[in-house]
């Protein structure tokens, strides 16, 4: 594996699993430091990363697609640590490819049932914070739990984020609106909004603002915020669809 290719692969693990652009570039720089290679310029975008290096009067540019972005902060942490170890000379260059494959194969740190229960509890507690009654808590717990089951199933089939968010939002919102129609709760806004809160793009939005305030990744920050805005719009559409179908 060539030095720039290896550095890009480590950086892309960070970006593809929910890490910030700054963390990705830090891992990229650390790997190049381990190779004792300088003069490499990287351009970061949410859809691709480009790295250029001039050698013997010729410029070589390497492009890598970022692809689908999920959340697995265990991989982000491992990739960041790998970059630091390479920079310190603790990982031999020949072993870097196998380390990259090991990190890619890391499973999510929590079992599926834990993710379902966590999403359901988070949404249910949010309904109480938003002023929902106890009926809203029960409705939202069921709606978010079932929606998270669908979310995990669609993630395993590598569906794009936008249609996956819309489908999960419609399912959870329909369950919530059905509970409201049955009279199980009288707090309509808290029930409807809380039922879809588990798919709200919180981490992409946070990373987007971090990119913006850094003044180094303005374009990728705007991309992240635009994507998050689209997902919030889709969630509002999901609630509208649920009211149109169920009510």
| pLDDT tens track, the chain, 247 positions | 688 888 999 999 999 999 999 999 999 999 999 888 888 889 999 889 999 887 777 788 889 999 888 889 999 999 999 999 999 988 887 788 899 999 999 988 888 999 999 999 999 999 999 999 999 999 999 999 999 999 999 988 888 899 999 999 999 999 999 999 999 999 999 999 999 999 999 888 999 999 988 888 888 999 999 999 999 999 999 999 999 987 6
Handedness of CA 43, 63, 101, 31 (dihedral sign): negative
- The candidate with the shortest Cα–Cα distance to 45, out of 166, 245, 208, 184, is 208
The tally of domains found in the chain comes to 2
Q: What is the pLDDT of residue 55?
A: 73
One domain for residues 205 and 237: yes
One domain for residues 97 and 13: yes
Q: Which of 82, 104, 126 is the last residue of a domain?
A: 104
Q: What is the pLDDT of residue 39?
A: 83
**For residue 123, what are the domain limits?**
112-246
One domain for residues 186 and 222: yes
One domain for residues 163 and 235: yes
Distance CA 106, CA 104 (A): 6
Given a contact cutoff of 8 angstroms between Cβ atoms, the answer to whether 115 and 155 are in contact is no
Structure token digits, residue 119: 């999403």
One domain for residues 25 and 68: yes
Residue 183's region, left for phi above 0, alpha for psi from -120 to 50, else beta, is: left
Q: What is the pLDDT of residue 140?
A: 97
Structure token digits, residue 194: 């809380």
One domain for residues 161 and 66: no
Q: Which of 104, 124, 152 is the last residue of a domain?
A: 104
Q: What is the pLDDT of residue 247?
A: 66
Q: What is the pLDDT of residue 196?
A: 96
Q: What is the pLDDT of residue 107?
A: 86
One domain for residues 82 and 27: yes
Q: Which of 75, 104, 133 is the last residue of a domain?
A: 104
Q: What is the pLDDT of residue 60?
A: 82
One domain for residues 129 and 199: yes
One domain for residues 94 and 145: no
Q: What is the pTM assigned to this prediction?
A: 0.86
One domain for residues 132 and 228: yes
Distance CA 13, CA 166 (A): 26
Could you read off the pLDDT of 162-177 as tens digits, one per residue? 999 999 999 999 999 9
One domain for residues 133 and 237: yes
One domain for residues 72 and 116: no
Given a contact cutoff of 8 angstroms between Cβ atoms, the answer to whether 143 and 173 are in contact is yes
Given a contact cutoff of 8 angstroms between Cβ atoms, the answer to whether 228 and 69 are in contact is no
Read off φ and ψ for residue 101, nearest 5 degrees: -65, -35
């Amino acid at each position: 594996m060539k030095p720039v290719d290896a550095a890009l692969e480590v950086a892309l693990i960070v970006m593809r699993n929910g890490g910030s652009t700054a963390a990705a570039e830090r891992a990229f720089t650390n790997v190049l430091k381990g190779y004792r290679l300088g003069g490499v310029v990287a351009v970061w975008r949410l859809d691709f990363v480009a790295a250029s290096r001039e050698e013997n009067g010729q410029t070589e540019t390497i492009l890598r697609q970022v692809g689908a972005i999920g959340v697995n902060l265990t991989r982000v942490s491992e990739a960041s640590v790998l970059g630091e170890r390479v920079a310190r000379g603790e990982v031999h260059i020949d072993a870097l490819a196998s380390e990259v494959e090991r990190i890619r194969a890391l499973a999510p740190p929590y079992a599926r049932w834990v993710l379902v229960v966590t999403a359901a509890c988070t949404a249910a507690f949010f309904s109480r914070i938003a002023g929902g009654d106890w009926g809203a808590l029960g409705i939202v717990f069921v709606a978010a739990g079932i929606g998270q089951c669908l979310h995990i199933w669609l993630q395993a089939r590598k569906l794009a984020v936008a249609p996956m968010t819309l489908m999960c939002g419609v399912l959870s919102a329909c369950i919530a609106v059905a509970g409201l129609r049955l009279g199980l709760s009288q707090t309509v806004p808290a029930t409807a909004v809380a039922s879809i809160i588990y798919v709200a793009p919180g981490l992409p939005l946070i990373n987007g603002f971090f990119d913006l305030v850094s003044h180094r990744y303005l374009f990728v920050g705007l991309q992240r915020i635009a994507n998050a805005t689209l997902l919030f719009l889709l969630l509002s559409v999901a609630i509208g669809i649920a009211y149109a179908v169920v009510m």
